[in-house]
Amino acid sequence: MSAIYDRVALIGLGLIASSMAHAMRRAGLAAEITGFARSAETRAAAREVGFCDRVCDTAAEAVSGADLIVLCVPVGAMGVVAAEIAPALKSGATVSDVGSVKRAVIEAVAPHLPDNVHFVPAHPLAGTEHSGPRSGFAELFDNRWCLIVPVEGADRGAVDRVARLWQGMGALTDEMEADHHDLVLAVTSHAPHLIAYTMVGVADDLRRVTDSEVIKYSAAGFRDFTRIAASDPTMWRDVFLTNREATLEILGRFTEELFALQRAIRTGDGDMLFDYFTRTRAIRRGIIEAGQDTDAPDFGRVKKG
Ligand code: NAP
């Protein structure tokens, strides 16, 4: 594939930025990739791994002359970073981001951008519980969705070009309106993370009572929660603070369902439980049929020994 952008600048050099750089290189999508992270430690690690052509010591230097600038920092930091890079942006450049929440990012970033720059927000629905510049890999976005969230009056050419970049990195792309994105993600990602954090928190409290047996004998259900609950604390704090309304709406519905199931258990309503679990099992089948997860037992984990 030929290059889609001449120079791409990545601001923030963690899991998503490093995976983007690896994936862009795999397909030759950018002639040059520059990068910047706020800490000297992350910049040094990024230089060592070598996924950027140049890791710069200032954000201004990284974005200067860039055709595409992708903000890969936590959602709560997007506005400050946008303000910092704005004076150094090239006329005609496109600014994008990978934030997990879209309305708040648009409101925080758009006011800082000059009129001669395009803004094309995006969100790759791919990640792991690892973070930092050493955690990225080229295959992260393969066959995963990346939602492009065009702002009002967006330039079609700039939007399509960002979509083509994500397709080149292996992703499937779709367009979505910002508020709708935030509601959908509250159901599919944000509320599930909060529930996982809660369940692991409860187990942690119980550990004291059960003499660490919840850790020693951790069964599949709990282990899967712990993987999700190991996700980056800064990223997830920002997600809940910035997607507050949608997350609270979904958690309200979740609480009602939980009460209904609690009641079925208390009253011995086996039919209700059976029907409920039959319905939810079909959702898993749908996800597998859509190619978004493996059908292998235990999520395809390889047994040791
Ligand atoms: P990460 O691995 O933790 O990397 C975050 C980067 O942002 C680091 O380079 C960090 O710099 C920088 N940073 C943190 N706080 C900052 C601040 N206040 N000001 C400026 N820079 C700051 O995170 P990530 O997983 O790549 O996530 C980046 C973005 O992608 C987030 O907006 C997240 O919502 C979104 N996202 C994440 C996932 C996922 O599963 N991880 C999936 C889709 C989208 P230092 O290292 O120098 O501190």
> What is the model's pTM?
0.94
Ligand 1 site-directed mutation target among 16, 22, 39, 70, most atoms within 8 Å of CB: 16
Mean pLDDT computed over every residue of the chain: 94
What is each CA distance from 256 to 247, 276, 299, in whole angstroms? 14, 14, 29
Ligand 1 site-directed mutation target among 39, 71, 235, 240, most atoms within 8 Å of CB: 235
Share of the chain above pLDDT 90, in %: 82
pLDDT of 301 reads 66
Gap from CA of 174 to ligand 1 centroid (Å): 23
Residue 18 in contact with ligand 1 by CB distance below 6 A: no
Gap from CA of 203 to ligand 1 centroid (Å): 28
Tell me the average pLDDT across 2-27. Answer: 97
Tell me the average pLDDT across 238-263. Answer: 96
**168 CB burial (10 A radius; 0-12, 13-18, 19+):** buried
For 235-244, write each residue's pLDDT tens digit: 999 999 999 9
Tell me the average pLDDT across 268-286. Answer: 94
Residue 30 CB: number of other CB atoms within 10 A? 25
pLDDT of 305 reads 38
All structural domains of the chain, each given as residue ranges with its CATH number in brackets, are 5-176 (3.40.50.720), 180-268 (1.10.3660.10)
Q: Does residue 262 have a pLDDT over 90? A: yes
Q: Does residue 302 have a pLDDT over 70? A: no
Strand runs labelled E in the chain: 5-11, 30-36, 54-55, 68-71, 94-97, 118-124, 145-148, 172-175
Beta carbons within 8 Å of 176's beta carbon, 6+ residues apart: 147, 148, 149, 184
Residue 155 in contact with ligand 1 by CB distance below 6 A: no
d(CA 51, CA 40): 16
The dihedrals phi and psi of 106, each to the nearest 5 degrees, come to: -60, -45
Residue 37 in contact with ligand 1 by CB distance below 6 A: yes
Residue 79 in contact with ligand 1 by CB distance below 6 A: no
Higher pLDDT, 201 or 55: 55
Gap from CA of 144 to ligand 1 centroid (Å): 19
pLDDT of 303 reads 54
For 198-231, write each residue's pLDDT tens digit: 999 988 888 777 777 877 777 778 888 888 999 9
Ligand 1 site-directed mutation target among 41, 52, 58, 73, most atoms within 8 Å of CB: 73
Tell me the average pLDDT across 164-190. Answer: 97
Gap from CA of 58 to ligand 1 centroid (Å): 17
pLDDT of 205 reads 84
pLDDT of 215 reads 77
Q: Does residue 289 have a pLDDT over 90? A: no
pLDDT of 286 reads 86
pLDDT of 8 reads 98
pLDDT of 304 reads 46
Pairing state between β 94-97 and 172-175: unpaired
Gap from CA of 189 to ligand 1 centroid (Å): 17
Q: Does residue 272 have a pLDDT over 50? A: yes
pLDDT of 214 reads 78
141 in Cβ contact with 169 (< 8 Å): yes
Q: How confident is the model at residue 277 (pLDDT cuts 50, 70, 90)?
A: very high
Q: Does residue 292 have a pLDDT over 90? A: no
For 112-162, write each residue's pLDDT tens digit: 999 999 999 999 999 998 999 999 999 999 999 999 999 999 999 999 999
> Tokens for 212?
């660490």
Residue 136 in contact with ligand 1 by CB distance below 6 A: no
Beta carbons within 8 Å of 39's beta carbon, 6+ residues apart: none
What single letter denotes the amino acid at residue 132? G
Gap from CA of 224 to ligand 1 centroid (Å): 23
Tell me the average pLDDT across 21-40. Answer: 98
* Ligand 1 atom nearest to CA at 105: 32
Residue 132 in contact with ligand 1 by CB distance below 6 A: yes
Residue 100 in contact with ligand 1 by CB distance below 6 A: yes
